[in-house]
Amino acid sequence: MADYNTKKLEQRISEEGFNKLMKINNPNLHQFIAKYVGLCNPDQVFVCAGKPDEIQYIREAAIRNGEERRLATEGHTIHFDNYYDQGRDKKNTGILVPKGVELDEAIETKDRDTALKDIHEILKDIMKGKEMYICFFCLGPTNSEFSIPAVQITDSSYVAHSEAILYRPGYEEFVVQGPKARLFKFVHSQGELGEQRTCKNLDKRRIFIDLEEDTVYSANTQYGGNTIGLKKLAMRLAINRGSREGWLTEHMLIMGVHGPKGRVTYFTGAFPSLSGKTSTAMLEGETIVGDDIAYLRKRNGKVRAVNVEKGMFGIIQGVNSKDDPSQWKALHSPGEIIFSNVLVTPDKHVHWIGKDGEVPPKGENHSGGWYIGKRDKEGQEIPCTHPNARFAIDLRMFDNLDHWWNVLEGVVVGGIVYGGRDSDTWVPVEESFDWAHGIITKGASLESETTAATLGREGIREFSPMSNLDFLSIPVAKYIQINVDFARDLKYPPLIFSVNYFLKDKDGKFLNEKTDKRVWYKWMELRVHKEVGAIDTPTGRIPKYKDLKRLFKEVLRKDYRKEDYNKQFMVRIPENLAKIKRIENIYKTKVKGTPKILFEILEAQKKRFLECREKYGDYITPDKLLEK
């Protein structure tokens, strides 16, 4: 079989590319590549080992074939997706499961046999007349226990270019690991393109994740979330693998919070969309390790985490010079950046929703030629940029990148943070009583309110345990239990916190300023090192007023009023009891086999609320709890 695959590759690939593949001693890899070269049937094949001249060839190919166009700033390019291909396609994305296997109703699955037949029919001859790119990457740092080699097959130079920005080169990792490598494999084709160089056959859009073969298939789509396989698609593979091996794949940022005397404490954080994740990862005065996906492993009684990526595929809406100084500076500097689905002005500069300055009257965007007031065929006004417009950038272009962002053994995690968009329940910052309490009441109970701007309805609470529901490839109950069990043999488990940047008063006014989060993280950093006290409430431990008063003065140079503290950290019993009821109902009716410990911890929390209500009423200011 090895000789057969070798001969097939030798016939279809240039001598130089063939030699690159043969340097990797992995017959399974050769079989995989030979299979899809034959099935997709490209006119030519380019093998990229990650050398600078090879990456440059892909950059130039993206310009040559019209998938990207150069902008005025050196190194900047623009890419457009189809008008109706602007986000993750949940309907046509699925975990492939064999007959008789079921996951929770919230996890989209497809019958494995049927789906594989479907995708292979779609992929047959799909690259005829095109060039195939075979690229090698590494998820996590190379030469590390975190390393997962990943091979991407695609006919999109935009996808290959994006992954070269976002992920570490992995060819040498393939060579080193040889036949022992346990690969993640990705096959993508954008299919037939129209005049605008965007996908034509969206009715045949497919994104399938095959856990049995650690393979992801994607076809007839260009949008990065559906095609940049090493991102959220690889998360499904990694969650599944980690669940069997005792480590975690989490939808989390990693950041360094700078404490007294030069100390840096590392936090991970999980936030649903539009809940402050990117603004937290880029928090002024702190340093970023990663903004999106983390692998967590246990070593010597501690948790260590790495950033899976080396770049950021960020939502650009709302990025401005005041709130996002590091991103703003990087996005306006010469260097390799791919903008997608933003407005391009006639002088080849870019504009997006929320950028400083006035919206240009005309330009080009994902709808083609654009002008203010333009409407689509459904009669909806088209904004200057899509709300999900993106940028791909290497983290090394940020001036706040942490010194240890690429350390092989990962950074030691001192704290884990869960945050959602919550107008009336969670306080701005709170520490859990212990690991299990934090996992259940903060991670597994995470909700976030929708916004009218994005979903057409406001204030609907969406449930997303650990902000990972959309990416789970194992049952929710199993995922919760794995998280609870993760700390069992840890000598120094990270503290678990919750944050809420969106608490409002009865008139709908926010009780927090945008910059207040800088103080919450300084307080959490001090708590990790047991340098400040806390007040016990029914839901966890909150800051003392005197400590926040000092931190507000030191960090933000402003006074912090006791009146504001009492409003922000008031225990809201009716809202919290309603939340417990919602969460219990979800785990009783929508999740199969929920761990018993979840209901026990929620019941204990409910009991504490009822006891407090008897003593103090429905709304309790922190000073009343101090009187205990």
Over the stretch 559-570, which tens digit does the pLDDT of each residue have?
A: 999 999 999 999
Alpha-carbon distance 526 to 434, whole Å? 17
Q: What is the pLDDT of residue 173?
A: 96
User: Cβ atoms within 10 A of the Cβ of 300, count?
Assistant: 9
Mean pLDDT of 226-243: 96
Q: What is the pLDDT of residue 416?
A: 98
Q: What is the pLDDT of residue 88?
A: 78
Q: What is the pLDDT of residue 455?
A: 38
Judged by DSSP in three states, 215 sits in: strand
Q: Structure pTM?
A: 0.95
Confidence of residue 103 (pLDDT cuts 50, 70, 90): confident
pLDDT digits (tens, 9 = 90+) for 435-461: 999 999 999 999 998 754 443 455 689
Q: What is the pLDDT of residue 453?
A: 40
- Catalytic one among 147, 162, 243, 275? 275
Mean pLDDT of 483-506: 96
Q: What is the pLDDT of residue 454?
A: 40
- pLDDT higher than 60, residue 1: no
Q: Which pairing describes strands 206-210 and 168-169: parallel, antiparallel, or unpaired?
A: unpaired
Q: What is the pLDDT of residue 99?
A: 87
Confidence of residue 625 (pLDDT cuts 50, 70, 90): confident
Contact 105, 590 (CB under 8 A): yes
DSSP output for 355-389: -SSPPPSEEEETTEEEETT-B-TTSPBPPSS-TT-
Tokens of 339: 């903008």
Burial of 369 (0-12, 13-18, 19+ CB in 10 A): exposed
Establish whether 275 is a catalytic residue.
yes
* Mean pLDDT estimate for the chain: 94
pLDDT digits (tens, 9 = 90+) for 371-415: 999 999 999 999 999 999 999 999 999 999 999 999 999 999 999
Domains and CATH numbers, the chain: 2-245 (3.40.449.10), 249-310+406-626 (3.90.228.20), 313-397 (2.170.8.10)
User: Cβ atoms within 10 A of the Cβ of 399, count?
Assistant: 11
Q: Which residues of 455-467 are buried (b: 16+ CB within 10 A; e: fewer)?
A: eeeeeebebbbbb
Confidence of residue 79 (pLDDT cuts 50, 70, 90): very high
Mean pLDDT of 133-142: 98
- pLDDT higher than 50, residue 106: yes
Rounding to the nearest 10 degrees, give the CA dihedral for residues 65, 68, 73, 74: -50
Residue scoring higher pLDDT (6 or 419):
419
Q: What is the pLDDT of residue 451?
A: 59
- pLDDT higher than 60, residue 545: yes
Mean pLDDT of 290-305: 97
Contacts with 329 (C-beta within 8 Å, 6 or more apart), sequence order: 399
